[in-house]
Every structure is written in C-alpha cells, then in structure tokens.
Amino acid sequence: MLSGPLPNVGNSLIVADSYLRNLYQLELDSGNVGQLLPFGVASSPRAVTYDQTGRLVYWTDLFAHTINRHSLVTRNNTVIYRDPNNTGEHIDRTYTST
C-alpha cells in the first residue's frame, strides 16, 4: 500500500472504506492502492464521487453527518455541508432485501 494518492486517476477506482475509515484509490492496471486522506479525517465514509475537471473527491460521512470535499491538487479537505439537526447520536439502520 502506498502512503498517498496515486499520480494517475484516469484508470483507477476511488472507494470509501468505513472499516479503515478512509478513502482509497485503486489503480486498475497495476493493482497499487493509495490512501487519499490523512488518518482521522473521515470517521465513517460511505458514498464517494469524483469530479475529474476539478480533481475533487466528494464523500458522505455517516457518523459526522457531513458531505465533504478533498482536492487532489491542494490536498485540502473541506466540510461543505453539515446536518444542522445532528444531535451527535448515530442511529444504525439495517436494510434487508426482500
């Protein structure tokens, strides 16, 4: 595993790992994996998307009740939305298919 983002984003996947509490970049050609965020930035990342034009990664954080942005250019992290009704409590919802 590499310590930081991989240089080429073109042929890779960005995945949210709620167990390891981070976002990772998996290079499809080589199989190399790079950690995108410093430890402690994400508490429970879930959904993730990538803006190729701005080289920005967006993710939701279940425990923090936030939507966040990470710049692959500047390496800055920004909370762009925080749930104003967040009571600090986490409600675990389990969904099952029928």
Q: CATH code at 32?
A: 2.40.10.500
Identify which of 75, 25, 72, 68 has the alpha carbon closest to the alpha carbon of residue 44. Answer: 68
Q: Is pLDDT of 2 > 50?
A: no
- The verdict on residue 77 lying in a domain is yes
- The verdict on residue 55 lying in a domain is yes
- The verdict on residue 93 lying in a domain is no
- Mean local confidence (pLDDT), 4-15: 70
**How many structural domains comprise the chain?**
1
Domain that holds residue 64: 12-82
Mean predicted lDDT score pLDDT of the chain:
81
Task: Give this prediction's pTM.
Answer: 0.76
- The verdict on residue 88 lying in a domain is no
- The verdict on residue 92 lying in a domain is no
Per-residue pLDDT reduced to its tens digit, 31-77? 888 888 888 889 999 999 999 899 899 999 998 899 999 998 898 99
User: From CA 98, how far away is CA 95, in angstroms rounded?
Assistant: 10
- Mean local confidence (pLDDT), 5-26: 81
- The verdict on residue 36 lying in a domain is yes
